[in-house]
């Protein structure tokens, strides 16, 4: 009986540990939009680390991204040039704030 109790305790501790780890993980999967200079840009982040940056007027750029704690890294190719951008991330309800030394973006969840 003691052996079963130990196994149950270990299993419960494992489930609790996994649950707590999942709670702290940020999730940006979905579509987010922001308005800059009278233009709307829509970012779509898929679960597999891919997505799109829709600049409007039919310009859609495929992206790859990774989110690690508070850092979002986005890479894409535009007009033959490879681009890699890193942002600090803040998520509050349906608002995603991205900032770095050269830009500050506020996106709303669609």
Tens of pLDDT, residue by residue over 22-64, are 345 689 999 999 998 889 999 999 999 999 999 999 999 999 9
DSSP strand E in 46-99: where?
Answer: 50-56, 59-68, 71-78, 81-92, 95-99
Which residue carries 């305790």 as its tokens?
Answer: 9
**Architecture in CATH for domain 28-109:** Beta Barrel (2.40)
* Residue 106 token pair: 């506020």
- The pTM of this model reads 0.75
Question: What is the DSSP code (8-state) at residue 16?
Answer: H
Q: What is the average per-residue pLDDT within 90-104?
A: 95
pLDDT at 33: 97
């Amino acid at each position: 009986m003691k052996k079963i109790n130990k196994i149950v305790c270990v299993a419960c501790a494992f489930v609790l540990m996994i649950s707590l780890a999942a709670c702290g993980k940020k999730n940006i999967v979905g579509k987010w939009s922001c308005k800059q200079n009278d233009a709307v840009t829509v970012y779509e982040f898929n679960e597999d680390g891919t997505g799109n940056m829709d600049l409007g007027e039919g310009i859609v750029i495929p992206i790859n991204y990774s989110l690690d704690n508070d850092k979002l890294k986005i890479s894409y190719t535009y007009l033959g040039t490879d681009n890699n951008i890193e942002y600090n991330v803040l998520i509050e309800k349906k608002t995603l704030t991205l900032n770095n030394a050269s830009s500050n973006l506020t996106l709303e969840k669609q």
